[in-house]
Amino acid sequence: MTELKNRKAIITGGGRGLGKATAIAFAKEGIDVAITGRNEAVLKETVSELKALGVNAIYAAFDVSNYEEVQKSIKSLIDTLGSIDILVNNAGIAAFGSLNDMEVNQWRQIIQTNVMGMYYVTKEVLPHLIAKNEGDIINVSSTAGLSGNATTSAYSASKFAVIGMSQSLMKEVRKNNIRVCTLTPSTIASDMSIDLGIAKKDSEDSVLQPEDFAELIVSGLKLPRRAMMANASLWSTNP
């Protein structure tokens, strides 16, 4: 089993939702965590919770869809952490609406955040992992990236793109001892799914919880380094 204690991770969108649950699960494993997002107050609060678990935790507030901000912030986070072992590309946005009804700007922003944002962050972290000849990248797609549905054209297009980018990268950097994992979870209770009306608060028994997602990521990371969880779908037992 791979020992995770004292590893260093960056989790985009780590202040709340699935990213926060992952940050907490990492901290419980003794991983130092850098979380990112746009809302500084939320990031500060989550950093306090992470520190209380006994790890080094830091944050950077920036927009993943802005390459200049990504370059500056990722460099600063890695400088402060001292090194980097794990990247979780989790930040994302979703909105549903028919192709004609959705504003061009909103369609573009979903692609810019979910696809370009993931590409920008990965581009800044990857050279560090290649230089160490070791690392893990977890890219969060969705079941919406496996099949399209009415009103999900922008979100599905972005999550299909994530799968293509992530699987290509996996084949590119296996030789560098870098494991790339593409996750395609179904609905998980979070601000995103509750705001979209596809999950309800207080539905722990039937709907996937952020902790379930975090546990899957930790299990994948714990595999011996010769083994890689290349793709994983997480579904609830009872729809």
Residue 218 binding ligand NAP, by CB under 6 A: no
Site for ligand NAP in 146-175 (CB under 6 A): none
Residue span binding ligand NAP (CB under 6 A) among the ranges 90-98, 125-133, 146-154, 170-178: 90-98
Q: Which of 59, 119, 120, 155 is catalytic?
A: 155
Q: Which of 138, 178, 192, 221 binds ligand NAP (CB under 6 A)?
A: 192
Residue span binding ligand NAP (CB under 6 A) among the ranges 26-34, 73-81, 92-100, 169-177: 92-100
Among candidates 63, 59, 88, which has minimal Cα distance to 76?
59
Among candidates 91, 71, 108, which has minimal Cα distance to 11?
91
Residue 135 binding ligand NAP, by CB under 6 A: no
- Between residues 58 and 91, which has the closer beta carbon with respect to ligand NAP? 91
Shortest Cβ 131–ligand NAP spacing (Å): 26
Among candidates 51, 218, 113, which has minimal Cα distance to 35?
51
Residue 185 binding ligand NAP, by CB under 6 A: yes
Shortest Cβ 129–ligand NAP spacing (Å): 21
Residue 38 binding ligand NAP, by CB under 6 A: yes
Shortest Cβ 137–ligand NAP spacing (Å): 14
* 155 carries an active-site annotation: yes
Q: Which of 73, 139, 153, 190 binds ligand NAP (CB under 6 A)?
A: 190
Q: Which of 191, 204, 219, 235 binds ligand NAP (CB under 6 A)?
A: 191
Q: What does each C-alpha distance from 213 to 21, 98, 192 come to in angstroms?
A: 8, 29, 15
Footprint on this chain of ligand NAP (rule: CB under 6 A)? 13, 15-19, 37-39, 42, 63-65, 90-94, 113, 117, 140, 142, 185, 187-188, 190-193
Instruction: Tell me the catalytic residues.
Output: 155
